[in-house]
Amino acid sequence: MGKILAFGGSLRAESFNKKLVKIAVEGARAAGAEVTLIDLREFPMPVYDADLETASGLPEHAKRLKKLFLEHDGLMISTPEYNSSIPGTLKNVLDWVSRSEQGESPLAAYAGKVAVTMSASPGPWGAIRSLGFLRMMLGNIKVLVLPDFVSVAKAGDAFNPDGSLKDAKQAAAVQKLGKSLAEMLQKLKG
């Protein structure tokens, strides 16, 4: 079974996207995958700056996070929508992790990975615009993005106090994303 790295693209403690990705993690684990669920708050780093990179190399937290990306076969990302796109925090993480260090091939942390994506937003569109941007970006950096996705609109009313989704069909669709990623990784490793 493949190893999956999972995270929500928000720093907020009660992030809808952190809740959503946990549901997908359940589906992947039920299918037998090993999943590492992280919180981006554990990896604070400066805004990407090529001059900083030239002077000092990758920041320590970027190195730690990149190591996790390199150790995993799949990615499970849930994104909010900020001004019709992905949040700056998520873009910054993806940018720092993309940087090659000496002896590495370009995009070493992304090339050949398989991903599933999802989104949640309090608005009526469920962060669908940011989801499209994230999927395009991942595809451009050599990640195979599976075609299915889930977008949760009106997220402020979509979750129970325990973090589960109120809509059973929606919860099943999110768990299926995790299961699909686990099954694809198993096929590719087979």
* pLDDT score for 190: 75
Residue with tokens 């370009």: 106
Q: Which residues contact 157 (CB under 8 A, 6 or more apart)?
A: 166
The full length of the chain comes to: 190
* pLDDT score for 34: 97
Q: Can you give the C-alpha Rg of the chain in angstroms?
A: 16
Task: Quote the DSSP letter at residue 42.
Answer: G
**Domain residues of the chain, as ranges?**
3-189
> How many C-beta atoms surround the C-beta of residue 160 within 10 A?
10
What distance in Å separates the CA atoms of residue 43 and residue 179, rounded to the nearest whole number?
Answer: 27
Angstrom CA distances, 68 to 6, 14, 15, stand at 10, 24, 22
pTM of the model: 0.96
Bridge partner residues of 34 (DSSP): 3
CATH tag for 3-189 (out of 3.30.420.40, 3.40.50.360, 3.40.605.10, 3.40.50.150): 3.40.50.360
Q: What is the mean pLDDT of each run of 10 residues along the chain (190 residues)?
A: 94 96 98 97 97 96 97 98 94 96 94 97 91 96 97 96 97 98 93
What distance in Å separates the CA atoms of residue 121 and residue 15, rounded to the nearest whole number?
Answer: 9
* pLDDT score for 189: 85
